[in-house]
Chains A and B, each alone.
Chain A
């Protein structure tokens, strides 16, 4: 019935089964059953204030909600109660009772936190100061330090905040701990007259919230590192250790444990609490901004959220003392930059946000990490977490640099002018991003330990080089100069050197060669790259071990081993495979026709030969030449018609044979190469998978292949046009079908 009554009072309650309702009902019952001498109204608020240690450290919104509900129950607003009970009295001297002074101070603190009494904090401090000579009582001391801690937070005075919390711990918590354990052993915390001692679990919770939550919600931008010890101690069987009083799921234990794990984790700042809280707070803001960008694009709310997040990262940056800390922030800030660029590309909107975390600075940080790999990495902050954490941070930063680079580049390449063309200035920005990445990659790659860069960086090098090539070809509305085309060709070669399994890129390379009049060079350019794949020991083992995507890679290796199928990579139009097959059928039919012609011509020639021999025999018989030996002939007689016909047929046979042989070569080439090439079709998923999965196992293979060859050899030198045998073959094989 009480619950029904409550629901009537709160018709807008969205969740009628909320536990809060039950609390209020029970609180009302409990307070109603409390026989107090004072009026019912006083008794209720005094009860609430006497037990304020339970709720006073709640978040402002939650506290406001609680007080509103309590006001509904009590029937009088707290501010009114405060005014009626104490404000009418001109001086505190008239508030004689220690208990009453404490209640007044608590009421003022609560009203300040709910926003009902803007000067409540000063009032609370003034009120509690009057108990300065009664701080021997733990309850007084607790509120004294708590109110002053709130004052320090409001003033942004980190040192004072630290002092108040340490004093509270020393003077209140420490003396209560031993008796609390004794009482708990004797089950007196629940059932006996344990007094303020039994509030200890709430005090732990409140102190934890003051340090972890309020310091951040009040944007305390100062050094509170001495409180690290208190945070660690709170996490040690204190917060969340008394689930009957404060259920674990309702306590700050999860957050506390998270913070302690971060203090000790690889993204710490040498164990700095100030830094860790600032970073965790920034991450929270980042999550909000990410969700807003994903849902609303560049709405005002999303832009504001991104700005909040950036400001929070800047605050964390100010708190970072080590490179370890700075790297952890940059890793996240670059991720945010990636998200902003990706949103710009997705929504086709211009980015009007200034993010003061640059890729250039990120590369500088990476360089500083990289420089310490042979020694001194511990001094960068990774002393406690070890070399694995250092390497992981270095690779993690690179991954974010890579993503930020490519997202930025894709964003620029997506910008279109009013005419629907890609703007040259945007292309330049994109190329510059790709170039910076590639340049940095080539500086840092090739480490013998293989630990400087993540495996996915090698695929990134392919993406960057390809991006530069594409950008160059798109420049000036596709009207690239010969030098630009040469540069595009060089970049495509580089890209294929790092990732030769992009079938379409071979075609693009061939097109670029055609545009510079060098299509005949295709094989000369392609063969060295293909050869590296064919002769790679790592790839051989990979395929032999049936590792990830071994079937796909084997198809490519077979194709690269065959010059003819390599030509298909460059010049075949995969959308017209049917036409190629039809051409193959036509050639085969033509070869059959020729074979038949050869056969019939031979028969005809043989018949003519036979006829001629018979005619000669008969002529000899008639002339008696067979009886008397013939004298030597001085001059040949005139040629017979058969002789002319035979000669003609012989010529025809020679022509047919030659044509047949040539057809045989073409048929054999197509017969051999086309199925190999066809096998590589439809394998483009590999590129997509590698682009979205940093941990794809094939990334490791790409690194090994590049290292096997040597990074310097992957990057091509300029190839002079040559007329090679391969080029001549090329013209033969493609039979004039080049695109």
Chain B
């Protein structure tokens, strides 16, 4: 299948033994290091950044990055959709964990997890939803709304009523003209955004 014999062998060179994860599957032999051959050849460049060129260059610099991304809009869009979808699922996993910790009455666990969730939301969710709407591809808007809905539910799980209210306000303000847009509520139901906001209000008691 793969014409490159080195690459083919590389795929077999894994240190993870199947048996070592104790799935009940028979013990497989040691697989070797992953991509060690390739990795070794790349070793010299590991951790290096792209060359920035000479500082005293004659030519005025024009970054080609934006141009490349604009040419790859389709792929970039697909990637962003993929990332946002996965982020939404991650938030669902966080919500479920918080809910289960709460059911077990594990307050220490909730506190510990909160220390993780809040900065996570700041770095992953807030940076996305704070981006100027004009920079958003229209197809990404439902995902953005869904992330806010997920954040609202998470904040409710963290008992942060102020953050819940802020999130609802944000949804109503940013998407005032798009309330009929179809979105996935964090519980997995497909609803209009208006219904989603109503559900969020109902769930969080912010009626």
Contacts and interface: CB of A to CB of B under 8 A. Distances in A.
B198 interface: no
Interface stretch (A13-21, A408-416, A566-574): A13-21
A661 interface: no
B16 A58 contact: yes
Interface stretch (A22-30, A361-369, A591-599): A22-30
A157 interface: no
B12 A225 contact: no
Given A15-B29, A205-B16, A254-B25, A166 B93 contact: no
A31 B44 CA distance: 11
Interface of A: 15, 18-20, 22-24, 26-27, 29-31, 33-34, 36, 47, 50-51, 54-55, 58-59, 61-63, 65-66, 99, 139, 159, 162-163, 166-167, 169-170, 174-175, 177-178, 181-182, 185-186, 190, 193, 195-196, 202, 205, 209, 212-213, 223, 225-226, 228-229, 232-233, 236-237, 243-247, 249-252, 254-256, 258, 270-272, 280-281, 284, 287, 321-322, 383
B41 A22 contact: no
B112 A226 contact: yes
Interface stretch (B71-79, B139-147, B163-171, B182-190): B71-79
B30 A20 contact: yes
Contact of B14 (A213, A246, A321, A322): A246
B30 A19 contact: yes
Given A19-B29, A175-B123, A246-B16, A228 B100 contact: yes
A232 B113 CA distance: 14
B176 interface: no
B116 A287 contact: no
Contacts of B86: 236-237
9 contacts: A20-B32, A22-B12, A26-B32, A169-B116, A195-B48, A245-B34, A249-B18, A252-B16, A271-B96
Interface string B98-122: 0011011010111011011001100
Interface of B: 6, 9-18, 20-25, 28-41, 43-50, 72, 75-76, 78-79, 82-83, 86, 89-90, 93-94, 96-97, 100-101, 103-104, 106, 108-110, 112-113, 115-116, 119-120, 123-124
A667 B38 CA distance: 95
Contacts of A226: 97, 101, 109-110, 112-113, 116
B100 A54 contact: no
B89 A178 contact: no
B49 A321 contact: no
Contacts of A281: 22
Contacts of A22: 9, 12-13, 32
A159 B108 contact: yes
A229 B97 contact: yes
Given A30-B38, A228-B93, 9 more contacts: A19-B31, A31-B40, A50-B43, A61-B20, A166-B112, A225-B97, A225-B101, A233-B89, A271-B97
B46 A196 contact: yes
A425 B31 CA distance: 57
A225 B90 contact: no
B20 A58 contact: yes
A58 B82 CA distance: 30
A328 to B, nearest CB: 16
Contacts of B103: 270, 383
Which one of A175, A250, A270 has the greatest number of beta carbons of chain B within 10 Å?
A250
